[in-house]
Amino acid sequence: GNSVTQMEGPVTLSEEAFLTINCTYTATGYPSLFWYVQYPGEGLQLLLKATKADDKGSNKGFEATYRKETTSFHLEKGSVQVSDSAVYFCALSDQETSGSRLTFGEGTQLTVNP
């Protein structure tokens, strides 16, 4: 079946530090890959997505590249801000096996200190 594995958290960084959150996946088909972000007390919202191999998703300074050869979709940001403190979820949907249904990773709590 499909699965998503994220790096264990929590992650604590100082403002302006470089961020990487690792995500690897297992899927039987050709999945679309997503990063969702959950700010404190809120629901999830889409941060970025990539729908085929070698695509790069980007938004708000965050980037992730769909790497089929390493089955990875690592999230990066060059300079984090306090406002980036949130929980980040990697997810996939696989048209062949599950359509639009999402399979989520465990989530990574990011705290950015001033």
Partner 1 sequence: NAGVTQTPKFRVLKTGQSMTLLCAQDMNHEYMYWYRQDPGMGLRLIHYSVGEGTTAKGEVPDGYNVSRLKKQNFLLGLESAAPSQTSVYFCASSRSGSSYNEQFFGPGTRLTVL
Binding residues (CB under 8 A) for partner 1: these are 4, 31-32, 34, 36, 41-46, 49, 51, 89, 93-95, 98-102, 104-107
Q: What is the 3-state secondary structure (H, E, C) of the chain?
A: CCEEEECCCCEEEECCCCEEECEEEECCCCCEEEEEEECCCCCEEEEEEECCCCCEEEECCEEEECECCCCECCEEECCCCHHHCEEEEEEEECCCCCCCCEEECCCEEEEEEC
- Pick between residue 99 and residue 114 the one whose CB is nearest to partner 1: 99
- Pick between residue 31 and residue 73 the one whose CB is nearest to partner 1: 31
How far from chain centre, in Å, is Cα 25? 11
- Pick between residue 19 and residue 34 the one whose CB is nearest to partner 1: 34
- Pick between residue 17 and residue 102 the one whose CB is nearest to partner 1: 102
Smallest distance from partner 1 to CB 83, Å = 19
Smallest distance from partner 1 to CB 20, Å = 19
Smallest distance from partner 1 to CB 73, Å = 14
- Tokens 């403002």 belong to residue: 15
Smallest distance from partner 1 to CB 15, Å = 27
